[in-house]
Amino acid sequence: MFKKKIKYRNEVKSGGAYFMISRTLGPEIGGPIGMVFSFANALACALNTVGFAEVVRDLMHEFGVVMVDSVYDVRIVGVITVTILLMISLAGMEWESKAQILFFLVLLVSFANYFVGTVIPPNVDKQAIGIFGYRGDIFVENLSSDWRGPQGSFFQMFAIFFPAAIGIMSGANISGDLKDPTIAIPKGTLMAIFWTTISYLGITVTVGSCVVRDASGNKSHILTGNNTDGCVGLACDLGWNFTDCSQSQTCQYGLANSVKVLGQVSGFYYLITAGVFAASLSSALGFLVSAPKIFQCLCKDQIYPYIIFFAKGYGKNNEPLRAYILCYLIAIAFILIAELNTIAPLISNFFLCSYCLINFSCFHASITNSPGWRPSFHYYSKWTALFGAVICVVLMFLFTWWAALVTWCIIIFLFGYVNYNKPKINWGSSIQAGTYNIALSSSVSLTGVEDHVKNFRPQCLVLTGPPNQRPALVDFVCTFTKHICLMICGDIILQDRMTRPEDATDCLVKWLNKRKVRSFYTSLMADNLRAGAKQLLQASGLGKLKPNTLVLGFKTNWRDSAPENWDFFFQLGQNMSFLN
């Protein structure tokens, strides 16, 4: 929902989540998350490829085919697979879309095959591996937790399962290739969340109602007659004795032990394998396409140095071929780990960090009341967005605390770099709106504060003319304002200077910033210097932020100038005293 609000605020181009966050919170936050999110997508490609390779390896071993060993087989199959996916990606979005449609059709057939299998009465072979069809007592037993092993905990399992839900961002990540992303992405994302939730809940409830936790797979463990002596567990009521392997934790079948349980429940085992292939390859291909596009958008913005090389696009669709190769190499590096449960928690942290900032973007844009924040999707709460951001941070540390710490250290370092260099980018971010709100509120609140001698500060109006023409005077005043007092460089524009370029003010402000002088610049048109100075004294400042000290440059030609020119200095002093 919050991603949808951000999309409605901005004209969505390529870049997905990075584009939304950077255009909402500015380059300081958008830059780090763009770097992390593109890297996370490359890791997700590796994760899904390893998942596919592990299934292929298990299938090969079932038929007695071994290339090297169980680890190297995963690496070899993974590298070959991601290379083929790279070829499909380089062929263009048309080929990628056709491949995704094919994977989707295979996945639908696999789903149907699974649900049909759950209603087929189980034979003795299926009962031996713990499958008994729909039963309420099995469902009730499986509702309670039964964590096993040293890593057995809710959050460890959640960290491994969480990457199964990160594909909902795939549509946003290829926003530049959509016809109408502002409409398509919100609808597509919400539909993806809905159907993903329904399918996951459907599988969880059905498999949890059909399969007991532990089973031996040995048909000789069937109970004969009513003799249940020494039999412990729900399986005893179902006519089977799995007590020995259950108590010794040596069972190879059942919901808690077999990773092939969905195929065993289904009508035809290898259709489930085909569905796993389709789901893994579809996700891997989606992430392999989205990661380069996000990184290309980041490189185009030139927030960080030395990465502009990857911004170049090729062809009519501006395909980021160089970024494809980079993503491919990163994916291979993590495929060589060849361990699914090691990669999954790392990816969970990166994506949770991204989701945290998406939620925070919506919250921040809401509380700053930016005039550009006019979304069409109203069914949201800014406090829910804040709650979602906090929950993401908490989950990161509960999943893998050291990975969360590393992730946030990277974010802080990248943020510090952008904040220090201050790229010349103006996206109308909510941070700018927030800064304006704080400045306005502080200025108004100061008007009700009485002056006190202990809080006196020199607030200087410096008649510099164009500041870059009197740098010595500017630097002199800056030495005692010390960046903690008000300083205004006043410029009285006479008739002969009224033809100045319109961008002269911007140039003078940039000159002050480059010189690291914290000062305002204000100009005023007048017929003569005396009238202009009087008007400038009256008009400068806002509320309590008004000049109380007038600074003029010392005349260098006072020996030669006419006495009437000296009167200007005395009259300015009198005007200042009168105004005070």
pTM: 0.75
Q: What is the pLDDT of residue 502?
A: 60
What confidence category does residue 453 fall into, taking pLDDT thresholds of 50, 70 and 90? Answer: confident
pLDDT at 566 over 70: no
Please enumerate, as own/partner, the contacts of 217-224 that have beta carbons within 8 Å and a separation of 24 or more: 217/128, 217/129, 217/252, 217/253, 218/128, 219/124, 219/125, 219/128, 221/128, 222/124, 222/127, 222/128
pLDDT, tens only, 396-410: 898 888 888 888 888
Q: Identify the CATH class of 458-555+573-579.
A: alpha beta
pLDDT at 579 over 60: no
d(CA 437, CA 447): 16
> Which of 88-97, 124-133, 423-432 is predicted with the least confidence, judged by mean pLDDT?
423-432
Please count the other Cβ atoms lying within 10 Å of the Cβ belonging to residue 410.
Answer: 16
In whole angstroms, how far apart are CA 551 and each of 447, 468, 563, 565, 576? 25, 16, 21, 17, 11
pLDDT at 329 over 90: yes
- Using only C-alpha atoms, the chain has a radius of gyration, in whole angstroms, of 34
Helix (H) or strand (E) holding 266: none
Q: What is the pLDDT of residue 8?
A: 45
Buried b (16+ CB within 10 A) or exposed e, 436-452: eeeeeeeeeeeeeeeee
Higher pLDDT, 91 or 225: 91
The mean per-residue pLDDT over the stretch 19-24 comes to 77
Percent of the chain with pLDDT over 70: 88
pLDDT at 448 over 90: no
- Per DSSP, the three-state class of 262 is helix
Higher pLDDT, 338 or 357: 357
Mean pLDDT of the chain: 82
Q: What is the pLDDT of residue 76?
A: 92
The residue ranges of every structural domain in the chain are 2-128+138-149+157-213+254-419, 458-555+573-579
d(CA 15, CA 292): 9
pLDDT, tens only, 257-267: 888 888 889 98
The mean per-residue pLDDT over the stretch 327-334 comes to 92
Note whether 2-128+138-149+157-213+254-419 and 458-555+573-579 share their fold.
no
What confidence category does residue 320 fall into, taking pLDDT thresholds of 50, 70 and 90? Answer: confident
Q: What is the pLDDT of residue 78?
A: 92
pLDDT, tens only, 506-523: 888 889 988 889 999 988
Higher pLDDT, 444 or 169: 444
Burial of residue 312 (number of CB atoms within 10 Å: 0-12, 13-18, 19+): middle
Are 572 and 552 spatial neighbours (Cβ–Cβ below 8 Å)?
yes
Q: What is the pLDDT of residue 580?
A: 53
The mean per-residue pLDDT over the stretch 239-250 comes to 84
Q: What is the pLDDT of residue 7?
A: 47
pLDDT, tens only, 69-97: 888 898 999 999 999 999 988 887 778 78
pLDDT, tens only, 45-73: 998 899 899 889 988 888 888 888 888 89
pLDDT at 326 over 90: yes
DSSP 364: H
pLDDT at 483 over 50: yes
Tokens 């006495």, located at residue: 563
In whole angstroms, how far apart are CA 223 and each of 206, 210, 228, 349? 26, 19, 7, 48
The mean per-residue pLDDT over the stretch 189-217 comes to 88
Domain 2-128+138-149+157-213+254-419: give its CATH superfamily. Amino acid/polyamine transporter I (1.20.1740.10)
pLDDT, tens only, 347-398: 888 888 888 888 888 888 888 877 766 666 667 788 888 999 999 999 889 8
Higher pLDDT, 497 or 125: 125
What confidence category does residue 575 fall into, taking pLDDT thresholds of 50, 70 and 90? Answer: low
Q: Which of 482, 442, 436 is nearest to 459 (CA)?
A: 482
Q: ∠ CA 10-15-21 to the nearest 5 degrees?
A: 55
Are 540 and 441 spatial neighbours (Cβ–Cβ below 8 Å)?
no
The mean per-residue pLDDT over the stretch 546-571 comes to 74
Q: What is the pLDDT of residue 565?
A: 65
